[in-house]
Amino acid sequence: MSLRAWMIAELGEREGDPVLDSEPIVAWARSLTTFSLEEASQWMAREDLRAVPIEKLLAMRRLKHALNTLAHALHKTQVEQKHPELVPWLQFRDRLP
């Protein structure tokens, strides 16, 4: 996905293209949102992250990686307009572990 995002950033998005379409990255990021934004906020608000179950931390880390990859391709795409539900996640990603 990182290579796909880089190629989209360099060459621009082309809907329906097997490589330059951003929808697979969006679908990948969505598949990793197995918890709500509110739940993630509650987990990250804890003073001691050692109290957060390791499975949650790993899931949040995978999601952060996917969101960073998606954000890399964003400046050349209309992802934010097509998928406004991802905007709060993209804004929250810096708070993820």
pLDDT at 83 over 90: no
pLDDT digits (tens, 9 = 90+) for 6-39: 999 889 889 899 999 989 999 999 999 999 999 9
Average pLDDT over residues 44-73: 90
pLDDT digits (tens, 9 = 90+) for 64-78: 999 999 888 776 677
Average per-residue pLDDT for the chain: 89
* pLDDT score for 76: 61
DSSP per-residue letters across 75-97: TTS-HHHH-GGGHHHHHHGGG--
**Where are the chain's structural domains?**
2-95
Q: Is 51 exposed, middle or buried (0-12, 13-18, 19+ CB in 10 A)?
A: exposed
pLDDT at 59 over 90: yes
